[in-house]
Amino acid sequence: MELGLNGARVLVTAASRGLGAATARQFSREGARVVISSRHLEPLQETAAAIVAETGNPVFTFPADVTNPEAIQRMVRNAVDTMGGLDVLVTNAGGPPAGVFDDFDLAAWQAAFQLNVLSTISLIRECLPSLRQSKRAAVLTITSVAAKQPVQNLTLSNALRPAVVGLTKTLSLEVGSEGIRVNSILPGYTSTERITELMQARAAKNGTDIEDEIEHIAAASALKRLATPEEFANAAVFLCSPAAGFITGVALPVDGGAILSW
């Protein structure tokens, strides 16, 4: 299938590693020009160099903390100037800390809201004028299965991810007539550095080994395994591509069947 992404101008945030980096790599494999962003410049540049070495297509790096609206504004301006416009925005950020309701004071709620909700709003606000100039405009918000099904000990995520999915759906209705598609992906457990670190910490705490902990979380999905970052990225890149031209407003779980509703 031809995805129609050759020469597309793509911005992926929180993309020095994990889901964001895999998504940027897959866009580049499809011939897109990509800007990747995250807080620390060095890992960002290493990731960009690795993608360019594989695909030969340009990857640009602009560091920004997505909890800082001014930094987002500067980064988006640089990205749009560098690529001469924007066709695709993929919003991503780090995850909020684990814990239950009693673990969090108001400041923790505000920080999580800034990280996962306001960052998405700021990114879309800054990018919409450029997306409106594009003939193949798409926005993808990366959220979590927690948007549809609460995950134990992830109270912040369970409460805030649904807001981003609600925004995604609403925006798809508001900008659809301008040809802009807006979708969300709800990843289930995926083998990123974050999950490896979390499982290492859990194994140390429980006196188990990392394989036991991974097997335990894998059991929650119908497929009884974790996703690879590439499996996530394949779905992300397809949804953002002209090949998915009639798909908008969806909240697509890429979760190996972990969400129990249909």
Ligand X SMILES: NC(=O)c1ccc[n+]([C@@H]2O[C@H](COP(=O)([O-])OP(=O)(O)OC[C@H]3O[C@@H](n4cnc5c(N)ncnc54)[C@H](OP(=O)(O)O)[C@@H]3O)[C@@H](O)[C@H]2O)c1
Interface residue list for ligand X (CB under 6 A): 13-20, 38-40, 43, 65-67, 92-95, 115, 142, 144, 187, 189-190, 192-195
> Based on CB atoms, which residue is closest to ligand X, 91 or 136?
91
CA angle 103, 13, 238 (to 5 degrees): 110
**Half-sphere exposure for 46 (CA within 13 Å, toward CB):** 5
> Based on CB atoms, which residue is closest to ligand X, 174 or 193?
193
CB of 220 to ligand X, least distance (A): 11
CB of 5 to ligand X, least distance (A): 21
Q: Is 194 helix (H, G, I), strand (E, B) or coil?
A: helix
> Based on CB atoms, which residue is closest to ligand X, 144 or 172?
144
Neighbours of 151 (CB within 10 A): 18
> Based on CB atoms, which residue is closest to ligand X, 71 or 243?
71
Residue partners of 119: CB distance under 8 A and separation at least 6? 13, 66, 67, 72, 91, 93
CB of 115 to ligand X, least distance (A): 6
The structure tokens 């890149």 sit at 237
CB of 101 to ligand X, least distance (A): 18
**Contact present, 92 and 20 (Cβ < 8 Å):** yes
